[in-house]
Chain A
Amino acid sequence: MTTKKPNSRGVLILFYAESDEAGWENRRNPLGTLTDYLKEHQNRQSYPEIPQPGYRLPQIKRNLTTDEPDRLDSRDGDWIVTRVHRYSAMSGNCEWEETVICYCQYQPVTPQWERVPRLEEISQEKKPEFVATSSE
């Protein structure tokens, strides 16, 4: 049985569209050049989960239709991972221990938007209570 070694510097996960996928002619970077780059995840977890083929890239958007001033919604997006290539850092002073490139195909699904909760909302049960302790 192999023991999983903790990842000390995390994983940078880059999502790219497969060549000639939907919308390629309109997908440009800030310099105006055509690009297949879609998104990235910056994962500093000790045991980061690497996306596998079939993983749907989450889509996040601002919802301006409600009274909540900075509401965000999320859903399983229209891009699905088809292949995954992993690259390890060559030196000890790299910012990331590993870089992963996930190539994606456009396979749209019916949007099912859900509100993204604030941290305070999902951790209500863990709200700390400060109790004075005496040292003896």
Chain B
Amino acid sequence: MIEDDAPKKKIFRKPAVSRKYCEQMRDKYNLNLIDVEVTQDQTFKVNCVFYNEEFNFQELWYDN
């Protein structure tokens, strides 16, 4: 029996100062960008919504 050990996919968001930033993160980290939502957060303008398998988030975490 072959076990399904494929990495799980997750929907997650990363706040950003612009929609363009979402596209830049999409390209830089080879992500699947499924939505961009406007936010009322004082610091950021949008939430980039990604749907990806778990990967090394470290670089993306510190990318602002």
Q: How many A-B residue pairs have CB under 8 A?
A: 86
* Interfacial chain B residues near A69, Cβ < 8 Å: 39-41
* Interfacial chain B residues near A30, Cβ < 8 Å: none
Contact mask A112-135 → B, CB, 8 Å, 1/0? Answer: 000011111111001110000000
Q: How large is the interface on B (under 10, 10 to 19, 20 to 34, 35 or more residues)?
A: 20 to 34
Say what secondary structure dominates the interface of chain A: mixed
Q: Which stretch (A44-52, A79-87, A100-108) binds chain B?
A: A44-52
Q: Is the CB of B57 within 8 A of A58?
A: no
Chain A residues engaging chain B, CB cutoff 8 angstroms: 10, 39, 41-46, 48, 58, 60, 62, 69-70, 72, 74, 116-123, 126-128
Chain B residues engaging chain A, CB cutoff 8 angstroms: 10-15, 23, 26-27, 30-35, 37, 39-41, 44, 47, 49, 51-52, 54, 56-58, 60-62
